[in-house]
Amino acid sequence: MQQTGNIIKEQRKKRKLSQSQLSHALEKHNYPIKQSAISSWEQDVNMPSAGQFLAVCEILGITDIYSTFIGTNPENKISQLNEEGQEKVLEYIDLLVQSGRYQKPTAEVIPFARTIRLFDIPASAGPGEFLDGYDYEEITVGAEVPETADFGIRISGDSMEPRFINGQIVWVEQTKQLNNGDIGIFFLDGNAYCKKLQESADSTSLISLNTKYAPIVISETSSFYTFGRVVG
């Protein structure tokens, strides 16, 4: 049985990866491993942890860990065949797959229905009045509504065309934390808006997608509140 480090080295070179490239790939798998550590693995000075080892196998495309690092897998009959025999087995598997008669049945995902609040954007409403009042209806929805949505809003007007049209329902995740460029539902000085948030070093504005509408700049004296992020 070969040393583990030597096998890792052979498999890495087989994939035409340098130690530095393997290090960067491991970092993307949330394992920040330096090139020097990989070198110590390959020299069998140190060994990767179980998680690091599995990540290395995934990166290097090692699907049969037993056969690669230990030897012939007694549970894998294919590994006991020579190269020609293994090719014939794979050819036969391809024929079975193409026939369509031996496919595994796929599980049918049945979405669960749920009820969700649907609001109409009012001409004027305060934060508490908008979400805590009774001006909404409860509707039953399914998979067509994003799972992250907490409520829906039927918007009015053409300021968010062409993406959202008058009377369309948008689905909203209730949160106060929006990123620059997110489309959200906002309360500003007595009115509720569906707009895109635009933040710069010196100002915050609500932007319409319809270019005939000017940005609404939020001043320091404005009464401003974020209801949530539009997710669908």
| Low pLDDT (below 50) residues in the chain | 123-129
Asked if 183 and 230 count as a contact pair (C-beta separation under 8 A), the reply is yes
Predicted pLDDT of residue 112: 79
Predicted pLDDT of residue 201: 85
Distance in angstroms (rounded) separating the CA atoms of residues 162 and 185: 17
Residue ranges matching CATH 1.10.260.40 in the chain: 4-99
Asked if 157 and 128 count as a contact pair (C-beta separation under 8 A), the reply is no
Predicted pLDDT of residue 127: 46
The total of other beta-carbon atoms located within 10 Å of residue 182's CB is: 18
Of the candidates 156, 169, 155, 160, which has an alpha carbon nearest to the alpha carbon of residue 209? 160
Asked if 154 and 119 count as a contact pair (C-beta separation under 8 A), the reply is yes
Residue 150 phi/psi, 5° resolution?
A: -100, -25
pLDDT in tens, 159-199: 888 888 888 899 999 998 899 999 999 988 878 889 999 99
CATH number of 4-99: 1.10.260.40
Predicted pLDDT of residue 131: 60
Predicted pLDDT of residue 121: 66
Give 114-230's CATH code, choosing from 2.60.120.10, 3.40.50.280, 2.10.109.10, 2.60.120.560.
2.10.109.10
Predicted pLDDT of residue 133: 55
Q: Is the dihedral of CA 149, 152, 153, 159 positive or negative?
A: positive
